[in-house]
Chain A
């Protein structure tokens, strides 16, 4: 007797119910995954991109702040603010200076400490920097004297500042030297209306 393949049992209500359940769970997983991905894409992507950019800039800003804090501790801000060639009436930091060159020397034949700090921190990682000296006039306006300029800062440049009070007894750190009181008329920052305090100079470093 020839027997054919066994006949399939017609789907019962139990099978249908399980199929519905399975379908429901799979749909939920699909919808949930899609929604999560969509949410991730919409909310996080711009933030993520911005966070990376902002974080990088924040880190650079922190490093610039740290360099200035170290410079302040090592008295390098005073040294830089007084690095003025009173004979030529200009910054003692040569304009021909290229990143990677040996730092210019002070009147004490020591390399300019702020230059060393900036070179070690930024030039070695291919960042560029400008250093400006901001001071106030007797008319209470702010003027700027560039100490060293490498170029025009980029769009993502960060800036950090630290101030220092200069008094008449401080010595210029670039030849021919002499006290600030004795060279007040040749110095970039105007002598304020006080017998001791010459000016309060802000050292501003821009890194990009």
Chain B
């Protein structure tokens, strides 16, 4: 049967409408695709930039804080860097969570860090020079060798005319004594007694003085010698520690014997503690948000640059 020409025209009309509808559908689909591609990567990219920014800021801050700690005593110990990073990390985390649902953790990775000599420290000057168990006559360290790089420095504030005494005993006997007591008219008396019986006396104005015990300096000026005539290594003891308040730090090599029962390992409020000197600090940084999580490690060579 030959098709009617009217039918053919109508079929073409329907075909054209179908084509138009198809094109329209294609346009709509393409529009959606373009929109999706533009939106999603943008959000992740913004979050990644934020992570990078935060890690950069933490790296700079950790560098500066480590440098500062190193400036004070020429070395940094595990406990003091840990304590500073804990306060810093808490504050950073709170700042970040105030602005976005994210979490930042900054911790010293002690096992990956480089550890050197042992550090004995009491950082609160108002605390008496007592052992962990509050003994006033006690041993700080045995078999220790002191030199310029392993000093014993303290800031001491005597509270009584009866002196607090630091005693160094040589390997082959003999002793050297440093007495610090409250002097008349707001002064501090420092008296050193050598093994041969001679003494050196100094009076310093004020209620406290800074002593470099192994360097022989009072308030930065050379005044006495440390244990002349005695053979190293030395045993270092304190007597009447309750009669003075003091902040001190002693750096000793690993051959020395430190009675860890006399020191805290996790101190609070400036208690005496034993820790290790850091040659390299490895700091773990973790950033976690609802979109991304990132981990990074900062290596600070103490006295050098970070990586």
Partner of A72, one of B6, B56, B71, B72: B56
Known: A28-B20, A32-B24. A192 touches B12 (CB 8 A): no
Binding site secondary structure of chain B: helix
Measured between beta carbons, the chain B residues less than 8 angstroms from A192 are 87, 91
A107 in contact (CB, < 8 A): no
Q: Are B53 and A200 in contact (CB under 8 A)?
A: no
Chain A, interface residues (CB within 8 Å), range:
35 or more
Q: Are B88 and A142 in contact (CB under 8 A)?
A: no
Shortest beta-carbon distance, A82 to chain B, in Å? 13
Measured between beta carbons, the chain A residues less than 8 angstroms from B24 are 32, 35-36, 39
Interface residues of B (CB under 8 A from A): 4-6, 8-10, 12-17, 19-20, 23-24, 27-28, 31, 35, 49, 53, 56-57, 60-61, 64-65, 68-69, 71-72, 80, 83-84, 87-88, 91-92, 94-95, 98-99, 123
Q: How far is the CA of A122 from the CA of B10 in the complex (A)?
A: 65
A202 to B, closest residue via Cβ: B95
Q: How far is the CA of A102 from the CA of B224 in the complex (A)?
A: 56
A-B contact count (CB 8 A): 119
Q: Are B65 and A165 in contact (CB under 8 A)?
A: yes
Q: How far is the CA of A165 from the CA of B23 in the complex (A)?
A: 59
Measured between beta carbons, the chain B residues less than 8 angstroms from A164 are 57, 60-61
Binding site secondary structure of chain A: helix
Partner of B87, one of A32, A142, A161, A197: A197
A7 in contact (CB, < 8 A): no
Measured between beta carbons, the chain B residues less than 8 angstroms from A169 are 68, 71-72
Q: Are B20 and A165 in contact (CB under 8 A)?
A: no
Partner of A165, one of B14, B19, B61: B61
Measured between beta carbons, the chain B residues less than 8 angstroms from A44 are 31
A62 to B, closest residue via Cβ: B49
Partner of B23, one of A32, A65, A72, A200: A32
Query: When each residue 180-202 of chain A gets 1 if its CB lies under 8 Å from chain B and 0 otherwise, what string results?
Result: 00000000000011111101101
Q: Are B61 and A17 in contact (CB under 8 A)?
A: no
Q: Are A21 and B5 in contact (CB under 8 A)?
A: no
Partner of A27, one of B8, B9, B16, B31: B16
Q: Are A165 and B28 in contact (CB under 8 A)?
A: no
Partner of B88, one of A14, A21, A35, A165: A165
Q: How far is the CA of A194 from the CA of B23 in the complex (A)?
A: 69
Interchain residue pairs A-B with the least CB separation, the first 9: A20-B9, A24-B13, A28-B16, A17-B5, A165-B61, A13-B5, A32-B20, A200-B91, A17-B9
Shortest beta-carbon distance, B98 to chain A, in Å? 6
Q: Are B83 and A28 in contact (CB under 8 A)?
A: no
